[in-house]
């Protein structure tokens, strides 16, 4: 059955690498053409993040401020009260965000957390926003419970290529990520899945990560591409940053491989020039996180983003009428 996000194609690594390696203007022309066939090129979707449970995470993801394995200096906190979460979501909605993404620094939710998490989803949905959560690994029953509460999207990133995964995280494996993604899909929740670049990986790992996403039985509806925000105290604090043209090429490749997915220019925009972001929007990126914080790290903030949007003639994407 065809799905809104598309899928069912099989891409080889060689085909994807050849697209990536094309002359820059050819690659961008192709990506932008695909973008125009599927989206209004002057609309960008706005999501807002909130960390509902911060720090003290048992996982050892080498990029993360919230892992208990590294001295990032971040203070751990307990799960937020439902009312506070809903109050924050209301502010985000009033500032123009259409999707509210709630993140928890967990390996996965415990049974005792599920009632509060379900209440957060119900409260945010009642504001008329789309809901997204990222809570770590889920089994099928947990995914079904979140779906029942009204969850629209679940974010769970594959982060990098299967080959490079073990260099970044040792407390779980690539197959664990795919299993949660399959549980989310089976429950009927939409999938938000992407990764991080600038973690010392090779170009082939970045291309391979996108090929893995494009070859899933159905494309993720939403594909966040994060540029590493280097965090002091983590093993990746001094990783070599990705070169901007290479980053734009990757966005273009994501757009070509997953024509109907929303591609999110995710973490790392504070380190991107306006011109780099403009090229990313031309190449097919059509979502950003708004607000001055992501989960724990900095984001450009509303004034800077609205100034950029106005210079580029970009409007916020509205929610589909339901």
The smaller minimum CB distance to ligand DTB, of residues 27 and 236, is found at 236
Number of residues lying near ligand SF4 (CB under 6 A): 8
Judged by CB under 6 A, the chain residues 115 through 144 that form the site for ligand SF4 are 136
Select from 196, 120, 126 the least CA-distant residue to 157: 196
Confirm whether 173 is a catalytic residue: no
Confirm whether 64 is a catalytic residue: yes
Q: What is the DSSP letter of 70?
A: S
Q: Which of ligand DTB, ligand SF4, ligand SAM, none interacts with 28 (beta carbon under 5 to 8 A by kind)?
A: none
Catalytic residue, from 185, 192, 255, 269: name it: 192
d(CA 301, CA 278): 17
Among 59, 88, 130, 205, binds ligand SF4 (CB under 6 A): 59
d(CA 175, CA 269): 29
d(CA 35, CA 141): 36
Residue 57 in contact with ligand SF4, rule: CB under 6 A: yes
Alpha helices, DSSP H, located in the chain: 13-21, 24-38, 82-94, 114-125, 140-149, 162-168, 174-187, 203-214, 244-257, 274-283, 302-312
d(CA 153, CA 102): 10
Residue 81 neighbours by CB distance under 10 Å: 13
d(CA 231, CA 229): 6
The smaller minimum CB distance to ligand DTB, of residues 231 and 314, is found at 231
Structure token pair of residue 208 = 């391979």
Q: Which of ligand SAM, ligand DTB, ligand SF4, none interacts with 67 (beta carbon under 5 to 8 A by kind)?
A: ligand SF4
Q: Which of ligand SF4, ligand SAM, ligand DTB, none interacts with 228 (beta carbon under 5 to 8 A by kind)?
A: ligand SAM
Q: How far is the CB of 81 from ligand SF4 (least distance, A)?
A: 20
Q: Which of ligand SF4, ligand SAM, ligand DTB, none interacts with 138 (beta carbon under 5 to 8 A by kind)?
A: none
Select from 69, 172, 82, 177 the least CA-distant residue to 123: 82
Select from 282, 215, 211, 216 the least CA-distant residue to 249: 282
Confirm whether 101 is a catalytic residue: yes
Catalytic residue, from 48, 99, 101, 255: name it: 101
Binding to ligand SF4 by CB under 6 A, coded x per residue (else -) over 62-91, reads: --x-xx------------------------
Contact 101, 50 (CB under 8 A): yes
- Specify the stretch interacting with ligand SAM by CB under 6 A; choose among 22-30, 59-67, 81-89, 280-288: 59-67
Residue 265 in contact with ligand SAM, rule: CB under 6 A: no
Interface residue list for ligand SAM (CB under 6 A): 63-64, 66, 103, 105-106, 134, 136, 156-157, 159, 196, 226, 228-229, 231, 267, 295
Give me the active site residues, please.
Answer: 57, 61, 64, 101, 132, 192, 264
């Amino acid at each position: 059955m065809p799905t809104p996000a598309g899928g069912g194609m099989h891409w080889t690594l060689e085909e994807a690498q050849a697209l990536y390696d094309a002359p820059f203007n050819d690659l961008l022309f192709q990506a932008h053409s695909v973008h125009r066939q599927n989206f209004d090129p002057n609309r960008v979707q706005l999501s807002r993040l909130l960390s509902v449970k911060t720090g003290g995470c048992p996982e050892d993801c080498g990029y993360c401020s919230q892992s208990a394995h590294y001295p990032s200096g971040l203070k751990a906190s307990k799960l937020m009260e439902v009312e506070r979460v809903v109050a924050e979501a209301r502010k985000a909605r009033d500032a123009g965000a259409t999707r509210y993404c709630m993140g928890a620094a967990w390996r996965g939710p415990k049974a005792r957390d599920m009632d509060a998490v379900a209440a957060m989803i119900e409260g945010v949905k009642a504001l008329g926003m789309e809901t997204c959560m990222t809570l770590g690994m889920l089994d099928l029953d947990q995914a079904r419970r979140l779906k029942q509460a009204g969850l629209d999207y679940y974010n769970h990133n594959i982060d990098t290529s299967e080959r490079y995964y073990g260099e970044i995280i040792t407390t779980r494996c690539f197959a664990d990520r795919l299993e949660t993604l399959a549980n989310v899909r089976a429950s009927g929740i939409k999938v938000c899945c992407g990764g991080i670049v600038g973690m010392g990986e090779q170009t082939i790992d970045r291309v391979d990560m996108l090929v893995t996403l494009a070859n899933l039985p159905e494309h993720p509806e939403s594909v966040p591409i994060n540029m590493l925000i280097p965090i002091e105290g983590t093993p990746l604090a001094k990783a070599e940053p990705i070169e901007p043209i290479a980053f734009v090429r990757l966005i273009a490749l994501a757009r070509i491989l997953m024509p109907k997915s929303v591609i999110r220019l995710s973490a790392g925009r504070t380190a991107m020039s306006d011109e780099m972001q403009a090229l990313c929007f031309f190449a097919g990126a059509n979502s950003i996180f708004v607000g001055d914080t992501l989960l724990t790290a900095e984001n450009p903030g509303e004034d800077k983003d609205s100034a950029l949007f106005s210079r580029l003639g970009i409007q916020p994407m509205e929610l589909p009428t339901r």
